[in-house]
Amino acid sequence: MPDPSLRLAVLASGRGSNLQAIIDAIEQKRLQAILAVVISNKAEAPALERARKHGVPAVFLDPKAVSGREAYDAAILEQLRQHDVGLVALAGYMKIVTRVLLDAYPHRIMNIHPSLLPAFPGLSAQQQALDWGAKVSGCTVHFVEEGVDTGPIIQQAAVPVLEGDTAESLEARILQQEHRIYSEAIQLFAEGRLAIEGRRVRVK
């Protein structure tokens, strides 16, 4: 059964196009969730502005206001609890998540990455795919674990790398798929249909 009461938080550091796709999916009722809060480590992140425009609480937490990553995640956790959040979606969130959040939200933190993991983790995944000469790249939604871009894979979409592609043109083509699969993956979670078996995520 869909759980329309899933309370979602999005953590974003920048542009927020994935956040926007999630907002759109909720408004169009393709995603049964309540966007409870958007949190950013950047005061000027366009993602915060997008949230405000849609009446979603938008919170800037200054990493410089606390000492260390764990303390920062504790501040995030406080916000998540205040907003009664059940699932956290990282969307262009440029900070490493520590045990503080991982332990509080086991297998309830997702991330989206612009490659077919485990290929091309880390920064500039689109440029990495071009530099490697890959013919196909894509995007991955996965549960977050301690490593960078590791964690059980929930959903992937393949995207062709075309002759003459630049990092920007490939990024734009991959983004279209990101915007589609992130909401789909969150909807599967909302419906209670994701079963984690070791590294595998089975869709029930």
Q: Using the rule CB under 6 A, is 112 a contact of ligand GRF?
A: yes
Residue from the set 50, 83, 113, 142 that interacts with ligand GRF by CB under 6 A = 113
Nearest approach, Cβ of residue 42 and ligand GRF (Å): 11
Within 8 A by CB and 6+ apart from 34, the residues are: 4, 5, 6, 7, 8, 26
Annotation marks residue 107 as catalytic:
no
In 3D space, the residue among 124, 130, 125 whose CA is nearest the CA of residue 160 turns out to be 130
3-state DSSP of 44-87: CCHHHHHHHHCCCCEEECCHHHCCCHHHHHHHHHHHHHHCCCCE
Q: Using the rule CB under 6 A, is 50 a contact of ligand GRF?
A: no
C-alpha span between 42 and 171 (Å, rounded): 22
Q: Which residues of 190-202 are buried (b: 16+ CB within 10 A; e: fewer)?
A: beeebeeeeeebe
Nearest approach, Cβ of residue 2 and ligand GRF (Å): 25
Determine the interface stretch with ligand GRF among 15-23, 48-56, 63-71, 95-103 (rule: CB under 6 A). 15-23
Catalytic choice (83, 113, 142, 179): 113
Q: Using the rule CB under 6 A, is 140 a contact of ligand GRF?
A: no
Phi/psi at 197 (5° precision) = -125, 95
Q: Using the rule CB under 6 A, is 121 a contact of ligand GRF?
A: no
Q: Using the rule CB under 6 A, is 138 a contact of ligand GRF?
A: no
Q: Which is nearer to ligand GRF, 16 or 86 (CB)?
A: 16
> Which residues are known to be catalytic?
113
Task: Catalog residues that contact ligand GRF under the rule CB under 6 A.
Answer: 12, 14-18, 91-92, 112-114, 178
